[in-house]
């Protein structure tokens, strides 16, 4: 996350001066849903997502576009020897241990092809109106859709309580033109 922010801040003056450009930030499906056993990783990716979403609104004012790339599982060494996975404490085995074992078993069987991902990224880099977010891979699309539906259902289920926290306009003091309450 801090690398993304630092490099972006270095590029902004050039992009702002030329009043065009496209920042493409690499996140992960883990930037849209919390991955058990990967709190630090998910936290960093959520940070990239939030930073990039705000950045997109700000940079649009000077003609610069921002896209967040959200890959799922790709056949790289991410789940292989470059990552040391521990099953964790016994009391967390049902979640953390299971996630670690699943990642080990997933290695080499991920649906994502890195070459095709690179081509997709190059394709959106050429667009005048690219997406803010681009999920890559069937597993990413499925996981993000499920998480979005779960969030929407929760929002809907708790909407009455959520909106009950607003001021009741009928209970607010009425103001006279002088600004003093009556």
Residue among 41, 92, 106, 142 flagged as catalytic: 41
CA–CA distance, 66 with 130 (Å, rounded to integer): 8
Mean pLDDT of 124-139: 96
Q: Spell out the domain ranges in the chain.
A: 1-75+111-149, 79-109
Residue 92 falls in the annotated catalytic set? no
The pLDDT, as a whole number, for residue 74 is: 66
The pLDDT, as a whole number, for residue 75 is: 64
The pLDDT, as a whole number, for residue 78 is: 62
**Dihedrals phi, psi of 128, to nearest 5 degrees:** -75, -30
Residue 9 falls in the annotated catalytic set? no
Q: Share the mean pLDDT of the chain.
A: 86
Mean pLDDT of 48-54: 97
Of 131, 121, 110, the C-alpha closest to 53 is 131
Residue among 28, 42, 45, 52 flagged as catalytic: 45
Residue 142 falls in the annotated catalytic set? no
DSSP state letter for 4: H
| CATH number assigned to the domain covering 1-75+111-149 | 3.40.50.720
User: Is 52 exposed, middle or buried (CB count within 10 Å of its CB: 0-12, 13-18, 19+)?
Assistant: buried
3-state helix, strand, coil in the chain (%, to 5): 55, 10, 30
Band of pLDDT at residue 69, cut at 50, 70 and 90:
very high
Find the radius of gyration of the CA atoms of the chain: 22
Comparing 123 with 40, the larger pLDDT belongs to 123
Residue among 27, 28, 42, 52 flagged as catalytic: 27
Band of pLDDT at residue 171, cut at 50, 70 and 90:
confident
Q: Look at the pTM and tell me if it is higher than 0.85.
A: no
């Amino acid at each position: 996350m801090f690398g993304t922010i630092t490099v972006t801040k270095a590029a902004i003056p050039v992009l702002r001066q030329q009043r065009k450009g496209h920042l493409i930030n690499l996140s992960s499906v883990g930037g849209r849903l919390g991955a058990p056993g990967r709190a630090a990783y998910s936290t960093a990716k959520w940070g990239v997502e939030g930073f990039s979403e705000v950045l997109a609104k700000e940079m649009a004012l000077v003609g610069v576009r921002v896209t967040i790339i959200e890959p799922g599982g790709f056949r790289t060494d991410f789940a292989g020897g470059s990552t040391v996975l521990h099953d964790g404490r016994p009391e967390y085995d049902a979640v953390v241990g299971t996630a670690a074992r699943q990642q080990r078993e997933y290695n080499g069987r991920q649906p994502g092809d890195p070459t095709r991902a690179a081509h997709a990224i190059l394709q959106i880099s050429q667009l005048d109106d690219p997406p803010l977010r681009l999920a890559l891979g069937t597993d990413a699309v499925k996981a993000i859709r499920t998480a979005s539906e779960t969030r929407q259902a929760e929002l809907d289920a708790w909407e009455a309580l959520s909106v009950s926290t607003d001021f009741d306009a009928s209970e607010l003091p009425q103001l006279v033109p002088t600004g003093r309450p009556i």
